[in-house]
Amino acid sequence: MKILQTLESQTYIRSISSKSTTIFILVLVVFFNTASFSLADRSETSRLMRHAANLSQTGKNEEALKIFLEITHKEPNNFYGYNNLGMVYSQMQKNDKALNAYEKSLSINPTFPMTLNNIGSLHMTMGHYDKAEMFLKKASSLFGSFHLVSTNLGELYFKQKRYSEAMTYLKKSLKDMPTFPPTHRLLGELHQAEGRKDEAEKEFSLFNELRLKSK
């Protein structure tokens, strides 16, 4: 995790809708690259970030939004905060505001793979496939073992019927994270689209098994 250096992070991952495996990441850590924040300030921001993430996880996006807006107002260089703000706007289907938040995050840290993944995922959801590919490929190049990005690229190429490329990235995702349910579902859909019925049923079975275990 070179881009995160020595930070230990927690993330929660949620599909944007039940019909899509588009993956977004909500970051529950805070990065301070300046000595202007006291230890107390850092602790309070971390607490607020965790609280807001929990609120969003339980569907209380309006409350989470207020907290992330407060954080980014107080700390205008907190790219984690803007990433999370974009995530919440995405959950609320306020796509333009989500894009603005992700773009702000990238203006502060252009090589932050989590935001690159999230903005690429959102562009895919909006049907902006060229932009989605640009951001996702950049995230992949910066963080080669990022299974979420590989899954999103697999979905993107599947949507475009670029099946060979979709297969490459879905297999890469499973190499990095063999037990990630959405990748197995996508791989099943890919096998199905190309007429490999037995392989498709195997992947759908794995998807259901892993999904039940993760509950």
- In tens, the pLDDT along 74-101 reads 999 999 999 999 999 999 999 999 999 9
pTM: 0.83
Q: Write down the pLDDT at residue 28.
A: 46
CATH number of this structure's domain 1-132 = 1.25.40.10
CATH number of this structure's domain 144-215 = 1.25.40.10
* Short-list 62, 18, 17, 69, CA closest to 48: 69
Q: Do domains 1-132 and 144-215 have the same CATH topology?
A: yes
φ/ψ (deg, to 5) at 13: -120, 130
**For the chain, which residues make up each domain, given as ranges?**
1-132, 144-215
Q: Quickly state the pLDDT bin for 73 (edges 50, 70, 90).
A: very high
User: What 3-state class would DSSP assign to 24?
Assistant: strand
